[in-house]
Chains A and B, each alone.
Chain A
Amino acid sequence: MYVLIAGGGKVGANVARTLLRSGHEVTLIESSRDRYERLEAEFEHQVQRGDATEISTLEKAGIRRPPDLVLAVTGDDEDNLVICQLAQVKYGVEKVIARVNDPRNQPHFDLLGISPTVCATSSILGLVEHEVPAHGLIPLLELKRDNLEIVEIPVIKGGPADGTTIGRLRLPTGASVIAVLRAGNAEPAAPDFTLAAGDQMLAIVKPDKVDELRKALALT
């Protein structure tokens, strides 16, 4: 596989190293001189110095071939976005992965069809939310291409789900419970399974039905 990586920071360099070790072809692009020199000592001709948002730099790195995968992992979201857009639209690269540094920029990536994206801050926030006892719905995984989200839903004492069987649970169409976590065990979501306060339901839901689901279960 030929992979072009824009951004030679910790993320880019580690991914390049791993891919090279498993026999893939990699070109790494880094714009800062200091960082480039350090990378060159390790990656030799497999690292190029330049601004990966410049068309001439991308072409020198072989974007016309095109690569099987372009990874935009610089520290600037606007750069990552433009790199992916150029790769996808101008050069027909089939697969791009973008790093999102500031989660507030995620909507721009969604708007312009850049997917999948990886955001460390959002992942950490997700883990924090998971640890904080909350009465809300916790997004676990978003499968944008499949228009599907996996969420965790607490069964609240006295709430609409407490004491009800899964079969009787009134959920909006487009949402269904797939498993229940109880006392550290995952139970399959059989229709006759009776829910109790303290259980965590795992559900799949279409992203546009999340609010409805929240309402149906009286969650905040």
Chain B
Amino acid sequence: MKAIIIGCGRVGSAVAMELDRNGWDVTAIDEKEDAIDRLGTHWAGGFVQGHGMDLAVLRESGIEDADAVVVATNGDNTNIVVAQVARERFKVGCVVVRLLDPARADFYRERGLHVVCPTQHAIAVIQEAIRCAEEVS
């Protein structure tokens, strides 16, 4: 199975390494050359330096026959565009996209994207923790 990870920050690199350990063929894409350092010393997968909106970069990473794409750059709008390109142009079956803004996360989820919104998770967890404190006191 082949996965492309676009945006090799904390989230992207951790997902990439986990997939790599599980035997996936993984290629990570990041604008910054030194992002490859996040992938550890045993990194066996590929790495392409470039912007996720650049079709040449996406093709070089092998997106055309990828089974899964994870989009987690630090720009929500870049992620929105790249996720739709992966799904609609390259017909990737599994596309997961990280968005920080809850409002855009809701909208694009309604549009059928598989959106993960850490902000929504954090809000829910914090609210739950506060509720527990109320019950205890």
Residues of A within 8 A of B (CB): 53-56, 76-79, 81-82, 85-86, 89-90, 104-105, 107-108, 111-112
Contacts and interface: CB of A to CB of B under 8 A. Distances in A.
Contact of B104 (A81, A82, A89, A107): A82
Interface residues of B, number: 18
Contacts of B54: 104
Given A54-B103, A55-B104, A86-B107, A81 B85 contact: no
Contact of B77 (A56, A82, A90): A82
B103 A108 contact: no
Nearest to A74: B77
A76 B104 contact: no
Given A81-B80, A82-B80, A82-B81, 4 more contacts: A55-B107, A76-B77, A82-B77, A112-B81
Say whether chain A's binding surface is mostly helix, strand, loop, or mixed: helix
Say whether chain B's binding surface is mostly helix, strand, loop, or mixed: helix
Contact of B53 (A78, A82, A112): A78
18 contacts: A53-B77, A54-B101, A76-B77, A78-B53, A78-B75, A78-B80, A79-B77, A81-B77, A81-B81, A85-B80, A86-B107, A89-B111, A90-B107, A104-B54, A105-B53, A108-B53, A111-B84, A111-B88
B89 interface: yes
A78 B81 contact: yes
Contact of A53 (B53, B55, B88, B104): B104
A56 B106 CA distance: 13
A107 B111 contact: no
Given A53-B76, A81-B77, A82-B77, A111 B104 contact: no
Lowest 7 CB-CB distances: which A-B pairs, in order? A78-B77, A55-B103, A82-B77, A78-B78, A78-B81, A79-B77, A81-B81
Contacts of A54: 101, 103-104
A77 B103 contact: no
A105 B52 CA distance: 11
Given A53-B77, A111-B84, A111-B88, A77 B53 contact: yes
Nearest to B88: A111
Contacts of A89: 111
Nearest to B76: A53
A80 to B, nearest CB: 9
A112 B107 CA distance: 15
Interface in B30-78: 53-55, 75-78
Nearest to B78: A78
Nearest to B56: A104
Contact of A56 (B76, B89, B103): B103
A108 B86 CA distance: 11
